[in-house]
Structure 1
Amino acid sequence: MKKRYHRISVIAASIVASFALAGCNDDSSSTNTDSKDSKVAMHAVFDDYQSDMKELDGSALGQVTDEMAASRQVLDKKYLAELEKVDRNQLSDEDKIYYDTFKFDRDLAIRGGDLPNQRFGTFDIPSTHFYNYIESNAEYAGKELKTVKEYQDHLAVVQDYTRWVTNLHDQYIQGQVENTQLPKVLIDRYVASSAELIKDTDDAMLKVGLTHLKTLAGDDDKLLVLQYERAVDEALAASKAIVTYLAGDYKTAARGTAGDITDKNIGWGDLPNGKVWYQWQLDRNSTIGKSADELNKLGEDLVADAKAEMERVARFIADKHSTDTLTAKWLDDKGAEQTASYKVINADKTVNLSNFFDYLNSEAFFYGRDGRTISGTEYAKACEVASSKTACEAALTDYYKFKNDANDVVAKYFKAIKTDYKIVPIAAERELYDGVASYSGSSTSFNLNTNPKYSLQKWNVSTLLLHEAAPGHHFQNAYSLEYPPADKPEYIKGVWYTAYAEGWALYTEWLGLEMGIYGELNANGKPTFKDGTGMCKTTGVDYTSFQGGIYADAEECNAIQYFGSLNEAQLRNMRLAVDTGIHAKGWSIQDARNYMDANSALGDGDIASESFRYAAYVGQAVSYKSGYLVIKEMLEKAQSELGSNFSWIEFHDQLLKYGDQPMEVVETSITNWIASKK
């Protein structure tokens, strides 16, 4: 009956720059340096490490060889030993953050390098359809530049790409010999995602720059054009060789059956040394040191808790309509509008969540599918790039409303941020590929997919802006620009941890509850849906027309917007269970899909995409909730120990001003901050 459209999951905007996990403690060496000398010595370690690493591998894309992995291991051990000569006790609390972060990185890199099959100690191995590094590196190598001089300099990058992909090819061959391979069910998608890579036309990925260079080159540039053309031909040949190999001998020797989503032998736990490697992947992504079993159990428990709260919302909506059965319009496979009934409250008065999920995926809850024609708004010009201008204008109207309504509330919890963000619709040609939304720090823009088939439901407006913009990723970015520490080491500026970045964004989704976005809170800290401070206000909103008249009043509006927050939180809860389920518990792709379908209102297409993501991007999915839980725990610790001295603004300042940290370092940082406030 109901058709859930593929929303395309948000792909993380960045890749972790360093490895991470080790202990984070207050032990230190017994040198006699004073505070100033210790700081100088620590900075010297960081600078020398970066210098030596750059000298070791100055290639544009990095050398993917076992020899390079071994050489990095030597440097990691050397500089960990150098760091431990610095008296940590003599450092300020701020410098201890930097010390602990560097130690964290070196410890995990060393631990990974000491395990068999060193090639797995990098995000490049294995490359998969989800993060296809062959394709992204080829796009970088083949990109269009502005001047002949830039092409002259970039020639080395094209040549380096050929070396890089050839080395990667060798690593896959070694993996085949050692039976450390991707399963067939992932290889098919990997090869399919590489199709653009091996095109040999003038507009092909690797030839874009060359084609443009030929239009710029004069008589004096003929030699450069010949050299560039030769380099591109070699890059194409190397690309075709690896893709042909992956589709042929590599796939033939791989585990499982192509296209079999019921195959339970697809996780890393089934590889030689796989359980140890998977734990390492969990550690570097979560940075909290929990085992696969602990994370799986945590996920299962959180999923159950969120499901109970979803049932509360469903019962509230049914009571609001004074009926056990909700009705809504939907489109059949021929595009004809039909009316469907969804029995939300069963005869025994229990909640039928599956039917409620289906109701919330009906046409009325999607921009551009709700029968409305929206035009002539102040966002018309911005929406010219979108595939559906009416859907775009409707979406931007609502998203800007929430932004403006929430700004005053958000300001009470943070130092003033001068940098604003804008909401930018994704261009039509990118709508099928760029996910539902993202935040770009370089352009301070919240990028929104408004395609009717690939966008999020209307009930995600509040939580999506909280996560991506203010006070989520936008505040992370703005803080780094507006409130930087005075003497932050260059090494630390390049550190990036998914658990920190995404943990913060999840925390800001929760903070929406504290800020009263969905209404005043009850004794259990849950929204009552009354007197919300977000977009669903009691006065000033015409609910017969707002978002197409899908709410009876402000309370229902708050309840369904709150459901969006619950559903996004549930996605991250499920990731703990599903990632560990696939890689440590023997789950198949189908098992993962069944689990997500039973516990959330995600669409069928989204579930399909997510299930392959977790199989391919090993361990990364656990980072989101792991980071959030540490921040939430530290908040509760600070509130408990500081009492009336607790300040939201100061707490958030301490979390944000130093930038990305492993979560174990966050714990130390907040603990030291609490002690300084007593």
Structure 2
Amino acid sequence: MKKHTLHLSPTAFAIAMTLALVGCNDETTIVEQPKDTEQPATQLRSVFDNYQSAIKTLDNTYFGQITDQMASSRQSVDRMYLDKLEQINRDALSDEDKIYYDTFRFDRNIAIRGASLPNPRFGNFDIPITHFYNYIEWNASAAGSKQDSPDAYHKHIQVIREFTAWANNLLSQYSLAITDGAQLPQVLTSRLIDSTAEAMRANGQPYGLLEQGLNDIKATGNGYSAEFIAEYQKAVEDAQASVDEIIAFLGGDYFTSARGSNSASDTNIGWGDLPNGQAWYQWQLDRNSTTGKSAMELNQLGEDLVADAKAEMIRVAQLIVEKRGETIKAKWRNPQDDVIERTFNLVNADNERSINLDEFFDYLNSEQFFYGRDGRTITGTPYAELCKAASEQTACEAALIDYNIFKTDANDVVASYFKPIKTDYTIVPVPKNREKYDGVASYGGNEFNLNTHPDYSLQKWNVSTLLLHEAAPGHHFQNAYSIEYPPADKPDYIKGVWYTAYAEGWALYTEWLGLEMGIYGDLNSEGKPTFVNATGMCKPDLDYTTFQGGIYSDAEECNALQYFGSLNEAQLRNMRLAVDTGIHAKGWSIEQAQNYMNQNSALGDGDIESESFRYAAYVGQAVSYKSGYLVIMEMLELAQSELGSQFDWASFHDQLLKYGDQPMEVVETSIKNWIKTPK
């Protein structure tokens, strides 16, 4: 147990005074105003530092407390420091500090709004936990982790106990949800139960994830008394019991009283069907898109963009018809999971001989386009050891060969568009126990995590766009840039800010940047790739009878289909606007979402399945990609128009990246101020 002194610091005293006022009828709030003698920049950093201290004082637990009471208390602190911020003369700040000022103001306003809604604990990513954002697994992994010394283990036992307290509190929050009528639907509850039980397994043990540190202590032996080992084991057993209780409760009373019938056809699975759900959903949209658009505006934007994207898809299909003819035979997995030879009729029998996009989409999902389903056996590569973590060795090794080849090409091409990046990244397979739940790829800690399962991975024609998005110059450059080119006086508070519209908007922008960089060939007068003279993976001198299993006739077709991957991923982000709002604001089912994605893209069945459940679970996040991208593209066009010959790609990207995550309305201010600055 931590000991607390009776002598309160000024920060703690201010918090105590504020919290004492919660619930009072008057609106008096004690706020220590910035000193007039301090420079505005100094005042700003004092507000940031004191806010962080205040939040840490309010909740210094390892995993964080999630209750309505804590949400209310945090709101009081947010209001206090918003008041402090607004006493600072913003006009006297530098352009850089204005970015920090505006970001902090946006953060406080969105948090205050969320805590003002009923059931304020929902204004936190942790509640409700889902299979996609499974904090039970992540926190258990931290609690059960190995430590590097006996001293570290003696300290870490408290973390395990705090995990148990966190898990017990989580159970109480789920119990409250039954009373509130604010549960996950059954279709997501069952997925959470399955993913949690599966994630807890490690080394063949049901709770191996929590036992890794304990097993290490027992194996090491020296430096630990029998009493300590027994104490540590008891802490682990208590943690295991708390997870057992959560799983049992979720599968019992919680599941029985949850919405729906555990079917993909349920139409009341969205947040809009919860009490006060539409208001909560709009808050999620505002937090994730940071653009202020309503659910219906975003839905219509998505529908319009989906329709527009099909024209360019047809252009690619026409080139394939020119290369291979109107009909193509290939092996294809039917809905009964049988692999059959199928004839794909890519042209409609009408007067105009128009492209049949449905058939073209199906052709691009034939077996030859998937690693591990194309009949090849790939072994003995440099990635063999790494691929032992995946479920399918051949699929994993084949994928890592191609992605690493393009990694080298991409690094060469992006160099002229950015300041030099020294930090490297590694492409690693998603472990087999997470392949079903994690989606197709992710990035974190200088690792590009690639799902190589044959049924849950992307097709071969997606290599270029996926690597551009997740790694270079996508998420990896975001991460590396913040480390290698930080502003001289960036506040600690800003270093911890994260906005998905910024992060994912950037990654989607870098997919588009692939066109500008000539990855798919020279551009025509409309800015569309011609598929010749490409700088990407489709080199003219490759042996196309063997490259990726012989799926291309030549470099032109290779570039066209890699470009189609870019189109298809862009279409995915268009559809996300429609599908996320469809589920949570318009009452779509999982089945409706899947049908919509199937009709408007060439996404594989496994990808569509995981994506549809993701949108239901990770509320509002899917709209962030296109929302952020559109703002960045608008700012790019403005910068190129205003600066003309003075426009420089590396400088523009430097301004976008060096401050880290920002709300998109702050990005607009940042770029506009940069444009006005003398070059």
In structure 2, the partner of 1:182 is: 184
Q: What letter corresponds to residue 608 of structure 2 in structure 1?
A: I
Assess, with a 3 A threshold, how the Cα gap between structure 1 residues 297 and 143 changes in structure 2: closer, same or farther. Answer: same
Instruction: Note if contact 2:458-2:604 (Cα within 8 Å) is conserved in structure 1.
Output: no
Residue 633 of structure 1 corresponds to which residue in structure 2?
Answer: 634
Change (3 A) 1:672 1:189: same
Is contact 1:217-1:225 (8 Å) kept? no
1:579 alignment counterpart? 580
Question: Considering only aligned residues, what root-mean-square deviation do their CA atoms show, in Å?
Answer: 2.6
1:211 paired with 2:212, answer no
Of 518-527 and 419-428, the range deviating more from structure 2: 419-428
Matched position secondary structure for 1:288: coil
User: Aligned to 1:193, what secondary structure does the other structure show?
Assistant: helix
1:646 maps to a residue whose letter is F
Select 2:341's aligned residue among 332, 339, 349.
339
Q: Match for residue 20 of structure 2? A: none
Deviates further, 604-613 or 85-94: 604-613
Alignment check: 8 A CA contact 1:439 1:447 kept: yes
Alpha-carbon separation, structure 2, partners of 1:309 and 1:266? 34
The within-5 A match list for 1:419-458 is: 419-426=423-430, 435-441=439-445, 444-458=446-460
Paired position in structure 2 for 1:173: 175
- Asked whether the equivalents of residues 199 and 433 of structure 2 are also in contact (C-alpha less than 8 Å), the reply is no
- Match for 1:407 among 404, 411, 432? 411
- Residue 350 of structure 1 aligns with which residue? 354
CA deviation after TM superposition for structure 1 residue 40, in Å: 0.5
Amino acid at match of 1:253: S
Give how far 1:102 is off.
0.9
Report matched runs for 1:118-267 at 5 Å: 118-196=120-198, 203-217=207-221, 221-257=225-261, 259-267=262-270
1:284 aligns with 2:283: no
Which amino acid counterpart does residue 204 of structure 1 have in structure 2?
A: G
Q: Given the superposition, is the C-alpha separation of residues 372 and 211 from structure 1 closer, same or farther in structure 2, using an over 3 Å criterion?
A: closer
1:118-152, Cα deviation, whole Å (9 max, x unpaired):
11111111111221222322222222323332221
Deviations 1:415-472 (A, max 9, x none): 122223343445667655654333333xx33343444444321101111111112111
With CA pairs under 8 Å and 6+ residues apart, which has the higher RCO, 1 or 2? 1
Name the structure 2 match of 1:64: 66
Contact 2:185/2:269 (8 A) holds in 1: yes
Q: Which residue of 1 aligns with 2:677?
A: 676
Contact 1:202–1:211 (8 Å) recurs in 2: no
2:563 paired residue number: 562
Q: 1:17 aligns to what?
A: none
CA separation of 1:218/1:560 partners in 2, compared to 1, >3 Å: closer, same or farther? closer
2:609 aligns with 608
The structural deviation recorded for 1:210 is 2.8
Number of the residue aligned with 1:14: none
Partner AA of 2:500 in structure 1: T
Name the CA distance, whole Å, in 1 between partners of 2:560 and 2:632.
Answer: 26
SS at match of 1:438: strand
Which whole-Å CA distance do the structure 2 matches of 1:346 and 1:202 have between them?
54
**What does 1:422-571 correspond to in 2, within 5 Å?**
422-426=426-430, 435-441=439-445, 444-537=446-539, 539-571=540-572
Q: What secondary structure, in the 3-state scheme, does the structure 2 residue paired with 1:439 have? A: strand
Distance in 2 of aligned mates of 1:337 and 1:608: 19
Distance 1:130 1:541, change over 3 A: same
CA contact (8 A) 2:137 2:200 kept: no
Say yes or no: does 1:114 pair with 2:124. no
The amino acid that maps onto 2:265 is T
CA contact (8 A) 1:520 1:527 kept: yes
TM-score (norm 1): 0.89
- CA contact 2:390–2:432 (8 Å) conserved in 1: yes
For residues 204 and 176 of structure 1, the distance between their equivalents in structure 2, rounded to whole angstroms, comes to 31
Structure 1 match to 2:373? 369
1:382-425 deviation digits (Å, cap 9, x = unpaired): 65665555544443333233233333321121112222334344
Cα pair distance change 1:167/1:376, threshold 3 Å? closer
Aligned to 2:9: none
Q: Does the 8 Å contact 2:582/2:588 carry over to 1? A: yes
Task: Identify the residue that residue 661 of structure 1 maps to in structure 2.
Answer: 662
The aligned residue for residue 589 of structure 2 is 588
Aligned partner of 1:533: which letter? T
Q: 1:309 to 1:430 in 2, by over 3 A?
A: same
Q: Secondary structure at the match of 1:532?
A: coil
Gaps of 5+ in 1: 1-29
Which of 280, 289, 297 is the aligned partner of 1:294? 297
Task: In structure 2, give the amino acid aligned to 1:403.
Answer: K
Contact 1:202 1:208 in 2 (8 A): no
Q: 1:71 to 1:358 in 2, by over 3 A?
A: same
Matched length:
643
Cα separation, partners in 2 of 1:658 and 1:222, compared to 1, 3 Å: same
| 4+ long deviations beyond 6 Å | 197-200, 332-337
- Residues in 2 aligned to 1:320 and 1:225: alpha-carbon distance in whole angstroms: 69
Aligned to 1:314: 317
Residue 501 of structure 1: how far off its partner (Å): 1.1
CA offsets 1:5-40 (integer angstroms, 9 cap, x no match): xxxxxxxxxxxxxxxxxxxxxxxxx99969x71001
Contact 2:421 2:481 in 1 (8 A): yes
- Could you tell me which amino acid in structure 2 is paired with residue 151 of structure 1? Y
Q: Tell me which amino acid in the other structure corresponds to 1:113.
A: A
Cα distance change on mapping 1:518 and 1:126 into 2, 3 Å: same
1:331 is displaced (CA, Å) by 5.8
Of 576-585 and 521-530, the range deviating more from structure 2: 521-530
- Give the counterpart letter for 2:632 in structure 1: I
Q: Give yes or no for contact 2:282–2:294 (8 Å, CA) kept in 1.
A: yes
Q: TM-score scaled to structure 2, two decimals?
A: 0.89
SS in 1 for 2:39: helix
Q: Distance in 1 between matches of 2:114 and 2:552?
A: 53
Partner of 1:73: 75
Deviations 1:224-259 (A, max 9, x none): 2333233233323332223222222222222222x2
Matched letter for residue 304 of structure 1:
A
Amino acid aligned to 1:240? D
CA apart distance, 1:344: 0.8
Flag the 1:486–1:302 CA change in 2: closer, same or farther, 3 A. same
Q: Report the secondary structure of 1:194's partner residue.
A: helix
- Deviation, 1:492, is 0.7
Q: What CA distance in whole angstroms lies between the structure 2 residues aligned with 1:140 and 1:395?
A: 30
CA distance in 2, matches of 1:377, 1:162: 43
- In 2, distance between residues paired with 1:446 and 1:198? 23
Q: Cα distance, 1:565 vs. partner? A: 0.6
Q: Distance in 2 between matches of 1:518 and 1:408?
A: 15
Judging changes above 3 Å, is the alpha-carbon distance between structure 1 residues 241 and 448 closer, same or farther for their aligned structure 2 residues?
closer
Give SS of 2:77's match: helix
TM-fit CA distance, 1:354: 1.5
CA 1:202–1:533 in 2, change beyond 3 Å: closer, same or farther? closer
Q: Which residue of the other structure, out of 83, 87, 90, is the alignment partner of 2:89?
A: 87
SS in 2 for 1:67: helix
Structure 1 window deviating more from structure 2 (305-314 vs 423-432): it is 423-432
Contact map agreement 1:518 1:561 (CA 8 A) in 2: yes
- Assess, with a 3 A threshold, how the Cα gap between structure 1 residues 571 and 105 changes in structure 2: closer, same or farther: same
**Paired residue secondary structure (2:101):** helix
Whichever residue aligns with residue 618 of structure 1, its letter is: V
CA distance in 2, matches of 1:430, 1:662: 31
* Aligned residues of 1:138 and 1:197 also touching (Cα < 8 A): no
